């Protein structure tokens, strides 16, 4: 077990709701920071998310809020707001919030206000559409940003309804970008003894995920198309149906494609002028995909995994959640952990230091569970 986590001694105050900012706090807590999660009296919205619940709160809340002290503060109440200001002024190295633009200033929680009295504070604001521009004051959630950014225009099957990614890639990605900014600011503070104002937003993250698509558009006006489980620029590189489920096969160059053809008992495909090069296969995508799919459908996933892996081909089954959780590789990584004071399996930090993953964090706590601790802490310093 790691004794000294990288952020040991760093204190974070996280005034947050939903997913992006809480995910930032969860990462910082896993890296060793002491994180004070500030909820409104009714609690974080994700406490009510379904369909799965654990100990009265949505399982999603437990996934992104463990390892934190939980306090309940009504920032509309002046006395309680004063306690939050005191906690930040006397103890915080980092303050994270995802209040709507303009709201933080009305409570004196914006960077300009807080850094007047504490210039070394790292202030991180996470927004929806960004912190400037005609839409900056609008609320937003992950699916809105997948739509607005164009991600949904290239996701799913051609001719079908738009599809969002099945996980909150924009929420979690924004939380990660915020952490990157916070870590950079803490690093600079060591040398220059000054804080920083860090900002990120859901839309900026979604636009970042469109980097290749935007580059393609800038180069030749290409808007991109939907290719289901495939991609625009490589064939074959998608899911194909085996007899008992789907397999992703990636033959990302012509040499791998030739190996694939041999493993499928059709070496002649690699010599067919329609398929011999990736450029040709892009033009005849439907034809080669149909041939590969028909061949794979005759045998099981396990059969093809064994044969294709032996041939040196990148291949993976399309697994359900239970298959992932119980797979030997997942178990070997030890990334699904059980907090020491709980029984629910949760994903740990996807990082290791000296070959060791940061230890499991304590379970997510009830609304206001640490209010007494907060009052005792602040009274000591009055």
Instruction: Answer yes or no: 254 catalytic.
Output: no
Is residue 99 within 8 Å of residue 16, measured between CB atoms?
A: no
Whole-angstrom Cα distance, residue 57 to residue 46?
Answer: 8
Both tokens of 57, joined, read 């709160």
Is residue 164 within 8 Å of residue 155, measured between CB atoms?
A: yes
Residue 358 neighbours by CB under 8 Å, 6+ apart: 2, 5, 30, 31, 32, 348, 349, 351
Residue 97 neighbours by CB under 8 Å, 6+ apart: 14, 15, 16, 21, 104, 109, 124, 125, 126
Length of the chain: 382
Counting Cβ atoms within 10 Å, is residue 13 exposed (0-12), middle (13-18) or buried (19+)? Answer: buried
Catalytic residue (one of 93, 110, 142, 171): 171
Whole-angstrom Cα distance, residue 110 to residue 75?
Answer: 13
Nearest to 15 by CA among 30, 37, 35: 37
Which residues does the annotation mark as catalytic?
A: 171
């Amino acid at each position: 077990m790691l004794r000294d986590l990288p952020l040991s001694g760093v204190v974070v105050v996280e005034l947050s709701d939903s997913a992006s900012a809480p995910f930032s706090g969860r990462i910082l807590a896993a890296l060793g920071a002491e994180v004070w999660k500030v909820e409104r009296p009714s609690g974080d919205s994700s406490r009510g998310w379904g369909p799965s619940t654990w100990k009265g709160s949505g399982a999603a809340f437990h996934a992104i809020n463990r390892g934190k002290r939980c306090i309940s503060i009504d920032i509309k109440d002046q006395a309680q707001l004063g306690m939050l200001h005191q906690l930040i002024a006397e103890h915080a190295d980092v303050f994270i919030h995802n209040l709507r633009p303009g709201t933080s200033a009305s409570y004196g929680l914006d960077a300009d206000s807080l850094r007047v009295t504490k210039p070394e504070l790292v202030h991180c604001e996470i927004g929806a559409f960004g912190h400037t521009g005609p839409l900056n004051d609008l609320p937003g959630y992950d699916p809105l940003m997948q739509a607005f950014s164009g991600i949904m225009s290239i996701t799913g099957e051609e001719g079908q309804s738009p599809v969002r990614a099945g996980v909150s890639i924009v929420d979690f990605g924004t939380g990660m970008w915020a952490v990157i900014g916070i870590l950079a600011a803490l690093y600079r503070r060591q040398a220059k003894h000054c804080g920083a104002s860090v900002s990120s937003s859901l839309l900026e993250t979604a636009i970042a995920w469109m980097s290749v698509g935007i580059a393609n558009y800038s180069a030749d006006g290409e808007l991109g198309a939907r290719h289901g489980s495939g991609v625009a620029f490589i064939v074959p590189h998608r899911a194909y149906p085996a007899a008992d489920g789907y397999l992703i096969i990636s033959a990302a160059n012509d040499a791998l494609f030739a190996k694939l053809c041999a493993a499928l008992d059709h070496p002649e495909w690699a010599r067919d002028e329609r398929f011999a090069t990736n450029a040709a296969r892009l033009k005849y995508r439907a034809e080669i995909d149909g041939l590969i799919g028909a061949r794979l459908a005759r045998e099981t996933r396990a059969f093809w995994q064994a044969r294709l892996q032996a041939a040196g081909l990148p291949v993976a089954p399309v697994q359900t959640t239970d298959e992932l959780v119980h797979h030997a590789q997942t178990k070997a990584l030890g990334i699904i952990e059980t907090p020491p004071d709980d029984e629910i399996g949760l994903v740990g930090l996807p990082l290791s230091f000296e070959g060791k993953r940061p230890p499991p964090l304590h379970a997510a706590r009830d609304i206001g569970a640490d209010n007494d601790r907060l009052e005792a802490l602040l009274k000591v310093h009055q």
